[in-house]
Amino acid sequence: MSKSKCVYLLVFLVALTLTVGCGNNNVKPSGDNTVIKNNPNNANLATLDSKLAAINDEESALDAINTFANHVEANLDKNVPGNEEVKASALSLNVKNKFAVIEAAVRNYANGASAKTFSDDDLVSPDKLERTLQDVQGQTNKLAVNASQIKSTQKVMRETVPNLASSKEENMTPLEASIITYYMMTGDDGSNSEDKLPLQASQDKVSEFAERLVSKEVQ
């Protein structure tokens, strides 16, 4: 895997990531913080970073989310059952809007533009992200992704994509959690590198993952 790897996109997160069947059992999660080099290193990644930097309301947050979601959906493994025909979007507008509300609120609070209008439960801790991945993957198909690896990848990605984090806290917005998960599952940094892997998850699993990230029942 090349040293220039970093993540491109969101979720949405969504994106992201869940394994179906035994598809990703041979994938080594990118928990090694030597994998990514500093600063966006391709046009797609730089575009995402600029959209993240421009977030100041729900509309601009939704723009960044859609950019990430479109990229993720284009990289879905078509051989996974349920992906034979890609839907207009694996994520519902309702889920995207929830992502956008949280993203805008956290960023505006962090930069002093508004009072705190979100709950701490709206954020995703590394432990919650680990449990969410395990729950969606199921008992028989769990990747060896733990909170420690998530923290390691988060640290390097935040250095690589300056505007990824909405605050300096360890807990993440659902969007950041989705982007980090997507990279760990695919190694896709937006550069169309031959090293990247297709996202071996069905559209239904992607949707379930996103729903769980905004659920306050999983903590």
**What's the burial of 157, exposed, middle or buried (CB within 10 Å: 0-12/13-18/19+)?**
buried
For 48-89, how does the pLDDT look when each residue is reduced to its tens digit (9 = 90+)?
A: 999 999 999 999 999 999 999 988 888 888 877 777 776 656
Instruction: Identify the pLDDT of residue 21.
Output: 33
DSSP 76: B
Q: What is the pTM (predicted TM-score) of this model?
A: 0.80
Backbone φ and ψ for 124, nearest 5 degrees, come out as: -115, 115
Q: Which of 99, 82, 106, 135 shows the shortest CA–CA distance to 14?
A: 99
Domain boundaries, the chain: 43-213
Q: Torsion angle of alpha carbons 13, 15, 19, 21, nearest 10°?
A: 160
DSSP 168: S
